[in-house]
Structure 1
């Protein structure tokens, strides 16, 4: 059965979570439209975007479903599963459903989603962006990121194919690669993980993945600019704090509104 024709619009930025989708789309050879949601301007918090992803994060896609109506898909792991289940009948980035490799691929996809992503994200925040340096937090998250890298390194040391699962590239590789390329940015010495280091270099050299790195804009740490990583950090330092302040303000107003409403109802019951 032939795969349906995609009508994908991708909303994204050049971040670890964003490039996992662009690299997958490029590897699959799918046609798609890109809208750059520049998270440094907080576009992802605007009402129009919250209709697509109520969590106010990138990436997200909108596609045309079988009934002819739009369907939204957000969260990187969910998008990767959607793309392969719907548009990868040849299993370029996936495995037959129900196979041993299918479940192992899910294991390592969710390993990234629940492990490396959150832990390395926090390591990056406390190491590079936090207005107050908290040594405990830095050590906690950088150490945990290194431990998670060791899990991948061990997995690859046992692999006969050089990929995380089975005999070919999969969304498990794509998802984890999108964070591992930022390893040294978060004080991870890749020389401590030789199998992972070789895997990262080999996958990053694939033409489709290399294209995906630079959509919707040039990814500093994978550019020819020797100051790329520093520019990446400086670009993101300000908006990270502004975004946090905005979320605290909005959430605070919501909590206040809920409490006022509850107090109002309580008064009605009293009288």
Structure 2
């Protein structure tokens, strides 16, 4: 049985089976990337619900694993060389899981880095910009009278979606026939923009047939249907 005692987070969120990957997360667009990937890969894991409240993400236990106080994070008892490893940042975790299994990423170097390129497109563009749009469109930012911040993020979200629309022309998935961590990173954010932020019409998503076809196909995958609800926010 693996010894995870060197990870203080396991005292707050104890492992039932310390021999499997421990996932600390919440079902946000960033959080579900990892649960979906784990489901796609068929890796055994335990999901621990870490809410976005300060008492969870800013607790000493969680900060001991992720000093940036953001979900998701994992502890893999079977890390490189067989030693346990803790990881945070969803993009880093996706790369780690893909390389650990040799799945969800092309085997050739050129394809691998092209996939990571699109993963970074989400990490540096889609995630931050869609999140800001949500703030100014649906949450507290909508009370700001100055229209320029909202317009900025609407325009940038539209531009990013057009990049994705062009990439998906003639392709089933972002990397063609292969479903990868790039798809897993991006589609929850597009889904969230449409369903949670209710901003699909605002950013012209209805006029992007390639993106919508790809989004529907990604959501319909059984691992996505399951992973989108892990951890159970009501559990």
Q: TM-score, normalised by structure 1?
A: 0.73
How many Å apart are 1:7 and its aligned residue? 2.7
- Of 71, 75, 90, the residue aligned with 1:62 is 75
Q: Counterpart of 1:82?
A: 96
Gaps of 5+ in 1: 1-5, 220-271
1:172/1:66 CA distance change after superposition, 3 Å: closer
Q: Counterpart of 1:7?
A: 20
1:41/1:55 CA distance change after superposition, 3 Å: closer
Question: C-alpha separation between the residues in 1 aligned to 2:180 and 2:150?
Answer: 32
SS in 1 for 2:105: coil
Question: C-alpha separation between the residues in 2 aligned to 1:192 and 1:46?
Answer: 43
SS in 2 for 1:39: coil
Aligned alpha-carbon RMSD (Å): 1.7
Say if 2:136 is the partner of 1:126: yes
Matches within 5 A, 1:120-269: 120-130=130-140, 132-133=143-144, 134-159=146-171, 162-184=172-194, 185-189=197-201, 190-217=205-232
How many Å apart are 1:62 and its aligned residue? 0.8
- Work out which structure has the larger RCO, using CA pairs closer than 8 Å and 6 or more positions apart in sequence: 2
How many Å apart are 1:124 and its aligned residue? 0.8
Q: Which has the larger radius of gyration?
A: 1
Say if 2:58 is the partner of 1:48: no
More helix by share: 1
Question: C-alpha separation between the residues in 2 aligned to 1:41 and 1:209?
Answer: 28
* Partners of 2:49 and 2:233 within 8 A in 1: no
* Partners of 1:44 and 1:56 within 8 A in 2: yes
Question: C-alpha separation between the residues in 2 aligned to 1:56 and 1:202?
Answer: 32
Q: TM-score, normalised by structure 2?
A: 0.83
How many Å apart are 1:96 and its aligned residue? 0.9
How many Å apart are 1:127 and its aligned residue? 1.6
Q: Would you say how many aligned residue pairs link Structure 1 and Structure 2?
A: 208
Show CA shifts across 1:50-95 (max 9, x none): 0110000000001122455431111011000000111x23x3x111
Question: C-alpha separation between the residues in 2 aligned to 1:128 and 1:40?
Answer: 19
